[in-house]
């Protein structure tokens, strides 16, 4: 077990400015590939469908999802697929070989997605003004949001996976793991030094908040340990401070984090954590 949880150095971080990037959610190249169905794509789809690691998914991955994977391969972001790392409620995560390193490929299953709830998480987000209510559009916006959130978090000095590419309902990002497999979640290990780990998590929450973002599902399940560093993952649902319920989400994150560290033997007060995270006030506050 690592005894140090080194905090990411803030010197390299550029704090985002006041502007919020607009995110394009128009039709994707993957949909066009799926419609066109040329021979090469058909062969790719058949090969992937026959591969062991995708056997279970055959029925839940639609043609356009295979087309998205195909596009990511063609663009050189993925060279070979490994096994599944996680099969979640709405997304499956796979280990894969990327351009020059290992990557994690997160595939959202559009049909399994609770898009009504997803829609609610996009509320008030200046990056998604004018997004309609169509299920597919919402899931595609979600993936772009996850990528944008990872970029923003990184820029703010939070240790998160580097986002590599987003194609339709598929996100490719930096992979954390070693010979024993994927990096362990905070909740899966025995922590010797909960106080140090807590201080890092608390600081990352504050940096995220200062960049105008609230994780919204922060707990010991969405923090992994890699080479002695804590990495915050799963930023799809992260909302901007403009969200009407952003305060509730932040309070819930604080509750989860405080409860976890308290269980680890380092007593943390939810109120103290909330105060730490929200001081100083977020910048940007957006429009
Ligand atoms: N970049 C990554 N590197 C290594 N493992 C990852 C990565 N991203 C996700 N995982 C693993 O996959 C699991 C599910 O991913 P996550 O993004 O949390 O999706 P979900 O929405 O299903 O919770 C995580 O708990 C973690 O164990
Ligand atoms: Mg998760």
Q: Does residue 281 register a pLDDT over 70?
A: no
The residues whose Cβ lies within 5 A of ligand 2, an ion, are 222, 234
What are the tens digits of pLDDT across the range 233-259?
A: 999 999 999 899 999 999 999 999 999
Q: What residues have CB less than 8 Å from 287, skipping those under 6 apart? A: 20, 126, 242
Any idea where the domains of the chain sit in the sequence? 29-178, 185-277
Residue 157 falls in which region: left (phi positive, over 0), alpha (psi -120 to 50) or beta: left
* CATH code for the part of the protein at 29-178: 3.30.200.20
Using pLDDT thresholds of 50, 70 and 90, give the confidence band for residue 36.
confident
Nearest residue to 21 via CA among 174, 160, 211, 207: 211
* CATH code for the part of the protein at 185-277: 1.10.510.10
**Helix/strand/coil for 28:** coil
Please calculate the CA angle 239-247-282 and round it to the nearest 5 degrees. 70
The atom of ligand 1 lying closest to the CA of 177 is 4
Answer whether 218 contacts ligand 1 (Cβ < 6 A).
no
* C-alpha–C-alpha distance, residues 151 and 174, integer Å: 12
* C-alpha–C-alpha distance, residues 149 and 129, integer Å: 16
Q: What residues have CB less than 8 Å from 181, skipping those under 6 apart? A: 85
Ligand closest in space to the Cα of 149: 1
Q: Does residue 287 register a pLDDT over 50?
A: no
């Amino acid at each position: 077990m690592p005894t140090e949880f080194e905090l990411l150095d803030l010197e390299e971080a550029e704090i985002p400015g006041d502007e919020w990037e607009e995110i394009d959610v128009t039709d994707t190249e993957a949909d066009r590939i799926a419609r066109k169905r040329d021979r090469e794509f058909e062969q790719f789809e058949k090969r992937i469908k026959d591969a062991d690691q995708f056997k279970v998914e055959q029925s839940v991955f639609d043609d356009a999802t295979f087309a998205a994977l195909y596009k990511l391969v063609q663009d050189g972001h993925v060279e070979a697929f490994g096994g599944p790392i996680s099969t979640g409620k709405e997304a499956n995560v796979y280990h894969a070989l990327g351009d020059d390193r290992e990557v994690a490929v997160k595939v959202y299953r559009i049909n399994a997605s609770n898009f009504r709830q997803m829609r609610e998480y996009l509320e008030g987000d200046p990056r998604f003004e004018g997004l309609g209510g169509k299920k597919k559009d919402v899931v595609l916006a979600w993936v772009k949001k996850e990528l944008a959130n990872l970029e923003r978090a990184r820029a703010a000095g939070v240790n998160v996976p580097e986002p590599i590419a987003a194609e339709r309902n598929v996100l490719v990002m930096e992979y954390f793991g070693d010979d024993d497999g994927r990096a362990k979640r905070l909740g899966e290990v025995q922590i010797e030094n909960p106080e140090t780990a807590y201080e890092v998590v608390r600081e990352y929450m504050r940096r995220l908040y200062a960049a105008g973002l609230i994780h919204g599902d922060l707990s010991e399940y969405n923090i992994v340990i890699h080479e002695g560093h804590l990495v915050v993952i799963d930023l799809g649902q992260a909302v901007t401070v403009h969200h009407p319920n952003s305060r509730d989400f932040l309070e819930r994150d604080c509750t989860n984090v405080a409860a976890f560290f308290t269980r680890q033997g380092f007593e943390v007060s939810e109120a103290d954590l909330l105060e730490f995270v929200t001081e100083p006030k977020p910048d940007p506050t957006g429009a």
